[in-house]
Structure 1
């Protein structure tokens, strides 16, 4: 075993990247490949494939793990992954093209562009469908997602039938007042595109996205998928990776799901979007402006793309289930300093959210540019190891001395990391993060509230009661 591999293995086993030798620390590709192994150990990821580009040039391409557990086949760079709801990015891009051409007004009712829309939806705007703020109900039930032959056969027979099913159900809220992610929104947009072009949606996507970009390892739906080179999908159950239920989406659903892509194709698509090749940069910047809903809630989607912040960068993108993510990161414009990130997995034992994986990688790649993400990775590494009081105090002291993140953001990041760990690893691991936060911020009612809540979740009522008393005392205004 050579020296570099021995040190990388040590870092992997103890979740402590800081122990790696200088060659690993200063080689971004080594650091990122090592991080893939760390993520596999933390979350039981079956297989993963990653590409990060900066200003259109690949910085890192890496794979790790198995494409199939039964055969033991390893993930290859050109393997095809189910990318699920990333299908919506094709639909949103096609809609943005029509907006740019002046053929669609996002603030007009979608009914102006459709034939025979449901009567109760006639006032809902295109933008509200695009940004999941329409309030319309889902067209299927959780029982239809079981993946059995009976469940698969129970989907509505056609797109109009699916819309009729959704329209017959009560609205979830008044259009434009909130955000609620619903597949039905993208059935409406798929129908809008088909009405405008007079063609089936798969042909529209091929002619306007796949062919211009030369995407040859992309499939809308299962038809034509090769027999080899497609990864098997898994989900976490009882702490183990189990085969994912085989949901057979109907043909009309390919505008919101059932998309299969290689890492290279998805990266090429993201880079083309960021470069303004499909929609101009000016139009993208206009459609990606932050949006505030009437109740003061921040709009979670902009032009159909999930939006958020990563340090000083803004990000837009989408996830596919919990397991894959595409993200574009930029500052004030799309002219320079643009990152595109593709993180594909085929599932994990811990059902880790893909946003956690992307954030961890960006924190490892550029901790000075993404200090919050680097901090979250450090906190997770700390919490995932058994801890005593001395070790917790030493880690707390190191965070106090670290000026890369201001105090309010430090507390918020530790708290968010605690909840993410509680979801993936349970209350015992999460407690270490919440206890750390109360040590760093003993006068924060929110820190004590999170700790009390987690004690309650694990049935530790005495400690929960003590933490709740602290929280209530800090929440009571002094007289």
Structure 2
């Protein structure tokens, strides 16, 4: 890596001593650029805000369209839901939307088994309403220039619930289409117009727009609350500042609304993934296969957004946002993800990667963060499974040693063992996975398939 831990710590200590965000920006900029190179991502835009100060708002490298600047637009994809959450909180605070209203009262022709579902369940994926985007009918609606949320509603209203409301949280978009249709009908404005009025307008974020409308590819907004927004690093910095300055709504009310445990199930709230960093709640969403990630800590006023146009980005935006949040909320030096060390290694053999990982894992003074490392190692293993199953097995075994309570790592190890003809060992790994998740039908099926008669 091009910067030492001593250098980084020095930069951070200067920040503490001088109260100057420029040193924090320097430390973060160095680490972000090093991570971008290690992850082999060509272009990245990042905005970071701490209170009323913009710590960093700039581009790194280039997209396919050219050099990235703080004014270069990038897609938010499903991270759009964070914009929806902020807008929704303000609408609810104004009394324009009643999140507790049952669907029967706001959608009079709704099916009988929908009528008692509160509106908020449409936003946290617990309504049980049937999935739409994996149905053939959705493709026809999406391609129709006049296709809209009402057309989606007409499809799903005839279908049974996928599950009892509140029994599960299953990520899907049907609820957003219906909630958006309800809001637009009751308030007399399109969802993009509501976002502009309640969020991006007060923030002065004029380049944050619903993409299909901006490029003319579709004249009717559809599920604009769930995805499709474009933004820039400069706009997101302005948005975080507006939230902190309470130009959107009272920040305590925003925090209370969006972190209300009534609305949270399986770590997901009103269009937001809820995490905790250093004892503080952080709100946000990712999207586009990790092409975008947005995180906001409302109590401290720390916000970060990272986006790229690169599909194969190895979750760089996730790891950058985690690094920034941890650094600013703990006051410690920025700690890049352990994946940075592994991806940057000149020797990419499994044995070398295992040794690098375990050396840092066992070092109490390691400069790396390990959040989500299980998924990184798992992905590295599957990258090698077809051509080098023995290498894949080494990486899956590392995961099993490091995360022995994860059913998924044992299931992955079984795949490598099967590829190597180690059927008995594979069955034992499958049984370990099933022991950890005894009710999982997938693991039950695998054990039944491979167990001897």
Aligned to 2:47: 51
- Are 2:323 and 1:356 aligned? no
Query: In 2, distance between residues paired with 1:85 and 1:319?
Result: 6
In structure 1, which of residues 260, 284, 289 is the aligned counterpart of residue 259 of structure 2? 289
Counterpart secondary structure, 2:223: helix
Aligned residues: 419
Aligned counterpart, 1:91 = 84
Tell me whether 1:223 sits opposite 2:213 in the alignment. Answer: yes
Matches within 5 A, 1:10-29: 11=1, 18=4, 22=7, 26=11, 28-29=24-25
- Maintained 8 Å contact 1:106/1:127: yes
Q: Is the 8 A contact 1:290 1:299 kept in 2?
A: no
Shift of residue 127, structure 1, vs aligned partner: 1.4
Give the deviation of 1:152 after TM superposition. Answer: 4.7
Task: Give the Å deviation of 1:216.
Answer: 1.7
- Contact 2:211/2:230 (8 A) holds in 1: yes
Q: 1:78 touches 1:262 (CA, 8 Å); kept in 2?
A: yes
Structure 1 segment 442-453 matched on structure 2, within 5 A: 445-446=404-405, 450=409, 453=412
* CA distance in 1: counterparts of 2:210 and 2:411, whole angstroms: 47
Mapped to 1, the partners of 2:222 and 2:93 lie a distance apart of: 26
In structure 2, distance between residues paired with 1:471 and 1:328: 39
Superposition pairs for residues 145-224 of structure 1, below 5 Å?
A: 152-153=142-143, 157-224=147-214
Q: Does 1:326 align with 2:322?
A: no
Q: Please name the residue that 2:447 is paired with.
A: none
Q: Which residue of 1 aligns with 2:20?
A: none
> Which residue of the partner structure matches residue 104 of structure 2?
111
SS of 1:253's equivalent in the other structure is coil
Mapped partners of 1:256, 1:403: distance in 2: 41
Seen in structure 2, the aligned counterparts of structure 1 residues 106 and 384 have a Cα distance that, compared at 3 Å, is farther
Which whole-Å CA distance do the structure 1 matches of 2:219 and 2:345 have between them? 39
| In the alignment, structure 1 residue 415 sits paired with structure 2 residue 374 | yes
Tell me: CA distance 1:371–1:457, structure 2 relative to 1, closer, same or farther (3 Å): farther
- The CA distance in 2 between the partners of 1:314 and 1:463, in whole Å, is 45
Q: Distance in 1 between matches of 2:10 and 2:423?
A: 41
Match of 1:65 in 2: 61
Call closer, same or farther: CA 1:145–1:193 in 2, change over 3 Å.
closer
Q: What TM-score comes out, normalization by structure 2 length?
A: 0.75
**Paired residues for 1:283-322 under 5 Å:** 283-289=253-259, 291=261, 298-322=265-289
Aligned partner of 1:35 in structure 2 is: 31
Contact 1:367–1:373 (Cα < 8 Å) also in 2: no
Counterparts of 1:446 and 1:272, CA distance in 2: 42
1:305–1:152 CA distance, 2 compared to 1 (3 A)? closer
Is the counterpart of residue 400 in structure 1 residue 400 in structure 2?
no
Equivalence for 1:231: none
For 2:432 and 2:178, the matched residues in 1 are separated by 51
Aligned partner of 2:229 in structure 1 is 259
Distance 1:403 1:177, change over 3 A: farther
Instruction: Output the aligned Cα RMSD.
Output: 4.2
Is 2:122 aligned against 1:129?
yes
Deviations 1:185-241 (A, max 9, x none): 122222222233223333333222232222221222433459xxxxxxxxxxxxxxx
SS at match of 1:65: strand
After TM superposition, the structure 1 = structure 2 runs for residues 365-404 of structure 1, keeping only pairs within 5 Å, are 365=327, 374=336, 376-377=338-339, 380-381=342-343, 385-386=347-348, 396-402=358-364
Q: Matched residues in 2 for 1:463 and 1:313: separation?
A: 46
**Residue aligned with 2:162, SS:** coil
SS of aligned partner of 1:222: helix
Contact 1:86-1:319 at 8 Å conserved across structures: yes
After TM superposition, the score normalised by the length of structure 1 is: 0.71
Q: Distance in 2 between matches of 1:278 and 1:176?
A: 30
Contact 2:292 2:306 in 1 (8 A): yes
Shift of 1:430: 6.6
Structure 1 distance, partners of 2:333, 2:89, is: 33
Tell me how far 1:52 sits from its aligned partner: 1.2
Structure 1 residues 203 and 301 mapped into 2: Cα distance closer, same or farther (>3 Å)? same
Aligned equivalents of 2:330, 2:83: Cα separation in 1: 33
- Please tell me whether residue 80 in structure 1 is matched to residue 42 in structure 2: no
For residues 218 and 373 of structure 2, the distance between their equivalents in structure 1, rounded to whole angstroms, comes to: 39
Partner of 1:3: none
Any idea what the Cα deviations from partners look like across 1:40-95, whole Å, max 9, x if unmatched?
344442421001111231222331222226xxx21122011122233333433333
> Residues 255 and 274 of structure 1: is their aligned pair in 2 closer, same or farther, counting only changes over 3 Å?
same
The answer for unaligned runs of 5 or more in structure 1 is 1-10, 227-246
Where structure 2 has 5 or more consecutive residues not aligned to the other structure, the ranges are 12-22, 436-453
Q: CA deviation at 1:426?
A: 4.8
Tell whether the 8 Å contact from 1:152 to 1:248 is kept in structure 2 after alignment. no
